[in-house]
């Protein structure tokens, strides 16, 4: 075992996005690529000497090799201790919980979230701060600046550390504790929800299907849903994490979780269906014959929070990302609490949660969570729904119908145009921004635009300012269209168009969302010139 200093040079393009650095796996496997970025993290957080870190990932291809590199680099740089999930596995919510519970100095999560995995697919690395949440922009900017000047890194030359056996070992002067990835997370869930009532529901003939999509949530769902709560064996499907996610796309939406959709739309469908993503922080909720959009789901959770032990009487406020539908706003108004509108990216919720301003948060991209950790949490959302179902003994469809009759229905859809040439995508957004000053007051397809702006956010806690977060068009009657470029892909650019229209007529609550939003779809194409600029006549994905 020797300490080595390896000469290196800066590598372009290592700028972390909203969820860390994501690239094709083969890029991360290039000489010095991973090592440079980890060394930059050490610099960006002021070094790791004497610090305690959490480490784990979603089990995608290269997860185990990357973990060994990080262990050797942490030991070489003087870290006091690494707490690592067995076999380097930890869901993102479980990692956030561990950081907070163990009062660690932060954590490194190995994941590209909902992106596919495998030798030709995606890999990612992100740093979470001591509060358990994603690093804020000031930290990621320091990390990025460090990538520009890296000329060497330190690493211990040694054989692989045994991370398959629970317990404590050491590497040089650094302690390594291998922990059960599920245990602490399950304990936390038991403090939030009424497991006895959920168990009674599941023992009453109520059936469920949870599709883990061969990703990290499989062991968690099996232990909690089938083990602790008594769901029928086999209720969790695709529950073994695989390096390539079974050659699937671990994104819980009706496109990529098609098998779950087919089961839930069948005549003999289970009562409840759900799915989670690659690293366990996203969710999809379904009932027999019905799909609940993420925007509706977070609104329903907030509206029914009094039914859940940890949230009864504890709702200080709610928050949603700007592109998420305004269904949550209507619930907040009814409850007499604040609804904060933030940019996309869970890190923006962190200050609100830490300051006690928000209790439940949600994003339209299938992320919901609360102040129990500082990440979105897929299985948490599933348990929240099951707690509501156990208390009300209504079906998912009945809960949705009741909610819409009380609050109206915010029809909502997201259209993704993927892998667009980056220059074309940037030109489209630039042209759209150039029109903003003249769009207000225009009538297109019979709908009047009342406001057009480029969303900016002033953090109510620390006063930080974020601009250029997405172009938003508001229309009479509560309709909206939002345009933004996503930072989660690894090829070209993804244009996301978010479409929303409010309907309060009780006789128009059961429309197909694409039909209900037909006017918004046409207006979006007209205003942004999507077809003519990109050559695309249809989105690649509708959710």
Handedness of CA 285, 290, 291, 295 (dihedral sign): negative
Q: Distance between CA atoms of 39 and 144, rounded to whole angstroms?
A: 11
Token look-up 């404590």 returns: 168
- Three-state SS for 85-135 is EEEEECCHHHHHHHHHHCCCCCEEEECCCCCCCCCCCEEEEEEECCCCCEC
Nearest alpha-carbon partner for 219 in 56, 375, 368: 56
Helix (H, G, I), strand (E, B) or coil at 344: coil
Dist CA 2 CA 258 (whole Å): 50
Tell me, rounded to whole angstroms, the distance of Cα 543 from its chain centroid. Answer: 15
How far apart CA 363 and CA 366 sit, in angstroms, is 6
Q: How far apart are CA 370 and CA 316, in angstroms?
A: 11
Nearest to 378 by CA among 524, 280, 285: 280
Question: What 3-state class would DSSP assign to 280?
Answer: coil
Buried b (16+ CB within 10 A) or exposed e, 49-66: eebbbbbbbbbbbbbbeb
**Catalytic site includes residue 365:** no
Return all residues near 379 (Cβ < 8 A) that are at least 6 apart: 91, 93, 189, 217, 220, 221, 224, 276, 280, 283
Are the C-beta atoms of 339 and 329 separated by less than 8 Å? yes
C-alpha count within 13 angstroms, C-beta hemisphere, residue 416:
17
Tokens of 89: 């596995």
Reading the block at residue 18, the tokens are 């909203």
DSSP conformational letter for 138: H
Q: Which of 77, 91, 111, 113 is catalytic?
A: 113
Q: Which residues are catalytic?
A: 113
């Amino acid at each position: 075992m020797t300490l080595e200093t390896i000469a290196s040079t800066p590598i372009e393009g290592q700028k972390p996005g909203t969820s860390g650095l994501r690239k094709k796996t083969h890029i991360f496997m290039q000489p010095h690529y991973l090592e440079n970025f980890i060394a930059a993290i050490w610099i960006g957080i002021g070094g790791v000497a004497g610090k305690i870190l959490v480490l784990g990932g979603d089990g995608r291809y290269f997860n185990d090799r990357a973990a060994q590199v990080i262990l050797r680099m942490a030991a070489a740089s003087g870290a006091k201790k690494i707490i690592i999930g067995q076999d380097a596995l930890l869901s993102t919510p479980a990692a956030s919980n561990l950081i907070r519970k163990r009062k660690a100095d932060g954590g490194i999560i190995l994941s590209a979230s909902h992106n596919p995995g495998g030798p030709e697919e995606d890999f990612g690395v992100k740093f979470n701060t001591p509060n358990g949440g994603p690093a804020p922009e000031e930290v990621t900017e320091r990390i990025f600046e460090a990538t520009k000047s890296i000329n060497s890194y330190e690493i211990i030359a040694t054989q692989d550390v045994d991370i398959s056996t629970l317990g404590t070992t050491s590497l040089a002067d650094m302690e390594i504790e291998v922990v059960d990835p599920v245990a602490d997370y399950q304990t936390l869930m038991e403090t939030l929800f009424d497991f006895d009532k959920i168990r009674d529901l599941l023992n009453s003939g109520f059936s469920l299907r949870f599709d883990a999509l061969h990703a990290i949530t499989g062991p968690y769902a099996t232990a909690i849903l089938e083990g602790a709560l008594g769901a029928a064996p086999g209720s969790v499907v695709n529950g073994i994490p695989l390096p390539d996610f079974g050659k699937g796309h671990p994104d819980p939406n009706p496109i990529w979780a098609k098998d779950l959709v087919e089961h839930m739309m069948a005549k003999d469908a289970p009562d409840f269906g759900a799915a989670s993503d690659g690293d366990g922080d996203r969710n999809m909720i379904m009932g027999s014959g019905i799909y609940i959009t993420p925007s509706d789901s977070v609104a329903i959770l907030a509206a029914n929070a009094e039914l859940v032990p940890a949230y009864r009487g504890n709702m200080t406020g709610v928050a949603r990302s700007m592109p998420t539908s305004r269904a949550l706003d209507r619930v907040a108004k009814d409850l007499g609490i604040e609804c904060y509108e933030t940019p996309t990216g869970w890190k923006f919720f962190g200050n609100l949660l830490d300051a006690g301003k928000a209790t439940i948060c949600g994003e339209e991209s299938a992320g919901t969570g609360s102040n129990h950790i500082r990440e979105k949490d897929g299985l948490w959302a599933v348990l929240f729904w099951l707690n509501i179902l156990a208390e009300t003994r209504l079906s998912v469809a009945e809960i949705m119908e009741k909610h819409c009759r009380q609050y109206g229905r915010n029809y909502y859809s997201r259209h993704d145009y993927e892998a667009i040439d980056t220059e074309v995508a940037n030109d489209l957004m630039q042209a759209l921004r150039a029109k903003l000053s003249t769009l207000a007051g225009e009538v297109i397809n019979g709908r009047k635009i009342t406001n057009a702006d480029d969303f900016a956010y002033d953090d109510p806690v620390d006063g930080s300012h974020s601009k250029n977060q997405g172009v938003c068009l508001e229309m009479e009657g509560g309709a909206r269209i939002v345009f933004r470029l996503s930072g989660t892909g690894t090829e070209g650019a993804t244009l996301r168009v978010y479409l929303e229209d409010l309907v309060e007529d009780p006789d128009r609550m059961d429309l197909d969302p694409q039909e209900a939003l037909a006017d918004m779809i046409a207006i979006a194409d007209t205003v942004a010139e999507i077809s003519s600029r990109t050559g695309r006549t249809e989105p690649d994905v509708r959710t």
